[in-house]
Amino acid sequence: MPYSFIYDLTRIPQGVIKQLFTLAYGARLHKLLGGQAKRFVKAFKIDEATGLNLVDAIALVEDLIEVQVANSIQRDKFERAERKALLLPHCARSCMDKQCMADFKADVPNYECKGCRGSCLINKATALGKAKGYDVYVIPGGACAERILKDKEYDGVVGVACGMELKMGLGLLKKLGIPGQGIFLTKNGCSNTSLNLQNLARTL
């Protein structure tokens, strides 16, 4: 949980998020990041909707924009990639104790989902990724992502994580020269996190 705060994007109306991205493009991003993010947070009461303080709400909005912009810039190259990996966060498993039947593989550091629960988000996301031809990895953090991407030599990647981790991932992808698409967790935290499966399906 790299953020020091918990957010829940589902508490922000979808229309507001769409408007945020539209405004971001219209303002050519850097201006929005340079101060308009604060005005946007206040105008749409993002802090109130999410229960975050103003500083954290601004950080969240700025990260949302930055990741969205990176996605847009890398989309064409990403679509041309042939060998793609989907990296999912282990904190979205429906349970993280021994009830989860996933095995942790030390050689390729990831949890191998056994599909023990039909309602588990990781089970559903894994099925979506595999159906689209992705190799799917359920990982506990960015260090595993780096090892997997380096060892397996993928030429495209989709990662699901909180904004701060996605931003760190952007640096990694730049270093490795791999185009990627980042998907925000709709709710972050150490466990019981959430992701939007429709958004994932659209991105894959």
CA distance 57 to 103: 36
Applying CB under 6 A, the residues found at the interface with ligand SF4 are 93-95, 100-102, 113-117, 120, 122-123
Q: Tell me the closest approach of the beta carbon of residue 123 to ligand SF4, in angstroms.
A: 4
Q: Phi and psi of 161, rounded to 5°?
A: -170, 180
**CB 139 → ligand SF4: shortest distance, Å?**
12
| Distance in Å, CB of 161 to ligand SF4, minimum | 16
- DSSP output for 21-76: HHHHHHTTTHHIIIIIHHHHHHHTTHHHHHT--HHHHHHHHHHHHHHHHHHHHHHH
Tell me whether residue 15 or residue 118 sits nearer to ligand SF4 (CB atom). Answer: 118
- Least distance from ligand SF4 to the Cβ atom of residue 1, Å: 18
Which of 118, 177 has the CB closer to ligand SF4?
A: 118
**Which CB atom, from 65 or from 92, has the smaller least distance to ligand SF4?**
92
Strands 103-105 and 110-112: antiparallel
Q: Are 185 and 194 in contact (CB under 8 A)?
A: yes
